[in-house]
Amino acid sequence: MSFSHLFGATALALFAAVSPALADGFDPVTGYPIIDIYPTDVAGDVNPLSGLPAQAQRPGTLTVPGVTETQREMSRIPGAVTLVPTTKYVDTYAHNLEDVMDFAPGVHARKRFGAEVRLSIRGSGLSRNFHMRGLDILQDGVPFNLADGAADFQEIDPLIAQHMEIYKGGNGLRFGSATLGGAINIVTPTAWTAPAANLVRVEGGSHGSIRLHALAARVYGATDVFAAMTGNQVDGFRQQEEEQSIRFSANLGHRFNDRAETRFYVISNTVDQEIPGTLTLQQARETPEMANPGNVAGNYQRNVRSIRVANKTALDLGDGAKLEFGGYGGYKRLYHPIFRVLDQRGPVAGLFARYRNEGKLAGHRNVLTLGSDVSWGEVEAKQYANLAGSRGALLASGTQNSTNLRIYVENQFYVTPTVALVGGAQGIHSTRKFTNHLVPAQSDDATFSSISPKAGVLWDIAGHAQAFANVSRSYEPPTFSELVQGGVFQFVPLDPQRGVTVEIGTRGTAKAVAWDLTLYRAWVEGELINFTVGGGIPAATFNAGDTTHQGIEASLTIDMAAATGFTLAPGARLLLEQAYTYSDFFFDGDPVYGSNKLAGMPPHVYVAALRYRAGAGWDIAPKLEWVPDGGYVDYANRLKAPGYATLGFDGGVDIAPGVRAFFDVRNLTDKRYVSTYSTITDAALVPTNVFYPGEGRSFFAGLKVAF
C-alpha cells in the first residue's frame, strides 16, 4: 500500500469532515466550535475514581455513556479499575497502547515494534511473545477478541476513542471476564460526545512518521452519525520496521424515545507491518537500529485486513432497570511471513446481553447485573514456505473452530448506605476443534467448562475516599496459538489456566491529592508458559505447576500549588502525576525451576510527569520513565534485562479558537535500552537473541483544527 493510497483514503474522511455545520460559539471544555446538537455540559465533579476535579464532559446517551457517567459507575466496583480519557494522550503521538497506558498502574504495555505491543496485566499472558492472551478486549462493550480468546490490538486506533476502561483481574466480571488480567473496554465517541463537529489533525516527526486523522459528527433529529479515519505511515526506528495503516470507525445511533436507543458500528482496518525481530543484548545496546538478519532475509511481515460490524441496543426499563443487547460479525485475514508464510482467514460472530437493575432489597440499596454472551469463530489456517515474504509450497493446512458460551451474575447489596457486599460468578463452556487437512491423524478437539465465583466489599469511608477488597477465581482455556503450535501443526493437549486472586485497596481524593492503591496476590495452577526452546522440541507452550503472582498498583496525583501554598497565575495549575507498578511472579516448588522468578516482567516500573497548565491556553510536561531492573529473561534466572531511565516532555498551545499545536519529545538523552524481550528456558542452553531495543531520541509535532 503506497502512501498516495494512504493519503487518498484519508482524504475521504477529510471531505466528510468539512461538510457544512452551523457553529454556535465555542465549547468551554475544548475551545472547539460547537453546534446546537450538543446538550448542556455536565460539570466534572470530584470522584474517588477520577481524582482531582476534572473539566466538564458532555453527557452520553443510553448506548454510550459519557466520561463522567462512566467514572461514577466504575467507582462502585470493589476493586482495581482505571479510566483513561483521551485527554490524557490526545496531544501526543499516541501510536500504540504503550503510548496510552503509561500512567495506568498495573498495566504493562511495552513496544516490540511499530504498533505491536506486549500487553499484560498482573502477568496475564506473561510469556507470550506475540499477539495477546489472558485479557478480554471490548470495543463499546462489544467483545473484540477472536472466539478462541486471542486478540490483535494493532487494529485499535488510540485516536478513535472517547476513553478506555481498564478492569483488572476479577473486576472484569463487569463484562463477563474471568481472566487473570481482566478486561479493557475501548469506548468510541458518538456525535453527542465527539470533541467537535469537524476535526482535522496532521502530525509527524522522527523515523519517517506522518499521520492524518479526521472526524465528523452530525445529529439529524433522533439520528446521530459519527465517523473517523486515521492514515499512518512510519519508516521505523529500525531496519525492516516500516508500517502503513488505514483505520476507519463509524457509528450510527437512533433514539426511538427517551428510553430506547440502538446503535450500529462498523470498523475497518488495513494494517501492513514489517517485523524487525529480536537481537542479542549486545546488538540491542550497540546497534539498536539493525534488524534480525533472518527477518530481513525472510522479509518478515504481519499484514491484516479486517472488517467488523456490530449493533448494540439499550432499553431503559424504568425503576432503575436497563437492558443492553446486540450482536456482531466480522471477517479477518492475516498474511504473516515469518519462519513460514502464515495465511489465516475466517469469520467471527457473536451475541450478547446485559441486564442491570438498581433498586431495593429488604429496604436496602441493591444493584444486580446479569449477562451472557456467545461467540463462534472459524479460521482457515495455511502455512507455506517463505520465499522472501512470498508464498512457496503449501506445507500445512487446517481449520480451527472455536465456540464460547459465558453466563455471569454480580450483585451489590448495601448493608449500610456506605458499605456494599458484592458477590458474583461466571460460567463458561468453550470448545476448540482442529482439523488437519493434510495429516488427519493430527486432528483433535477439546472442551473446557468451569464456574468462577467472586466476592468482595466496598466501603465509602468518606465523601471522596473508598476502601475495597475482593477474592475471585480465574479460568482461561488455551487459545489456538497454544493448542496448535509452531511448525508441527498438530493439536497439543493443554489444560486450562486456573487461579485465585485476592486484592485489597483504597482510592480517593483529598484537598490536594488523588490516590489509587491496590495490593494483590494470585495463586495460579497450570499457568500457560511460553518460551523459546532448543531444536527438537515440538512445542513452545506448556502448563506450569503452581505459580504465584503478587504486586502493587499505585498512582498518586498532587496539586502542587494547593499542597505547597504557592500562588500560580490566574487559571494556572501544576500537577505531579505518578504511577508505580511492583510485580513479583515466581514458581512454587517447580521440579525444574524450584522457586525461581518467572521471566518476562520488570519488578519495578515508575513513571512521572510534572504538568503545568497555563490559564493562557498552553501547557508543558516533563516526563520520566524509570525501570531500575529489567527482570529475568530466562526461567533458570541466569540472564537479566538491564534497567533504564528515559526522559521526555510534551505540551501544546492554543493558537486560535479551535486550533492547537502540540509536540512530543521522547528519550531526550538518546538512551540505548531494552524495551521488552521474549522469554527463554535457560540462557546457558538456548540462543539469547531475544531482545527488542527501545527507540532512540524522537521528536513529533502536530496541528489539529476543529470547526
Average confidence (pLDDT) over 250-279: 95
Who has greater pLDDT, 455 or 46?
A: 455
Would you place residue 481 in the very low, low, confident or very high pLDDT band (cuts 50, 70, 90)?
A: confident
Q: Quick one: cell of 58?
A: 458532555
pLDDT at 533: 58
- Residue 444: half-sphere exposure toward Cβ, Cα within 13 Å: 13
What gap in Å lies between CA 209 and CA 440, rounded to an integer? 47
What gap in Å lies between CA 170 and CA 425, rounded to an integer? 10
Distances (CA, A) of 492 to 442, 444, 691: 9, 9, 28
Average confidence (pLDDT) over 62-91: 88
What gap in Å lies between CA 409 and CA 218, rounded to an integer? 37
Q: Quick one: cell of 179?
A: 481472566
With 70 as the cut, is the pLDDT of residue 649 above it? yes
Please tell me the least confidently modeled range out of 243-257, 525-539, 611-625. Answer: 525-539
With 60 as the cut, is the pLDDT of residue 608 above it? yes
Q: List residues bridging with 272 in a β-sheet.
A: 244, 303
Segments in 278-321 forming alpha helices (H) = 281-286, 293-297
| pTM of the shown model | 0.91
Would you place residue 88 in the very low, low, confident or very high pLDDT band (cuts 50, 70, 90)?
A: confident
Position 254: which residue type? H
Who has greater pLDDT, 405 or 87?
A: 405
pLDDT in tens, 135-163: 999 988 888 888 888 887 778 889 999 99
pLDDT in tens, 414-466: 999 999 999 999 999 999 999 999 999 889 999 999 999 999 999 999 778 89
Average confidence (pLDDT) over 650-663: 94
With 50 as the cut, is the pLDDT of residue 198 above it? yes
pLDDT at 534: 53
With 70 as the cut, is the pLDDT of residue 36 above it? no
Mean pLDDT of the chain: 88
pLDDT in tens, 553-602: 999 999 998 888 888 888 888 999 999 999 999 999 999 999 999 999 99
What gap in Å lies between CA 343 and CA 161, rounded to an integer? 30
pLDDT at 437: 94
Who has greater pLDDT, 124 or 38?
A: 124
Would you place residue 647 in the very low, low, confident or very high pLDDT band (cuts 50, 70, 90)?
A: very high
The secondary structure of residue 19, as a DSSP letter, is S
Share of the chain above pLDDT 70, in %: 90
pLDDT at 57: 65
pLDDT in tens, 318-377: 999 999 999 999 999 999 999 999 999 999 999 999 999 999 999 999 999 999 999 999
Helices (H) and strands (E) in the chain, counts: 7, 33
pLDDT in tens, 91-123: 899 988 899 998 999 999 998 888 888 899 999
What gap in Å lies between CA 232 and CA 245, rounded to an integer? 5
The secondary structure of residue 213, as a DSSP letter, is E
What gap in Å lies between CA 91 and CA 508, rounded to an integer? 27
With 70 as the cut, is the pLDDT of residue 3 above it? no
- Residue 295: half-sphere exposure toward Cβ, Cα within 13 Å: 22
Domains of the chain, with CATH numbers? 3-706 (2.40.170.20)
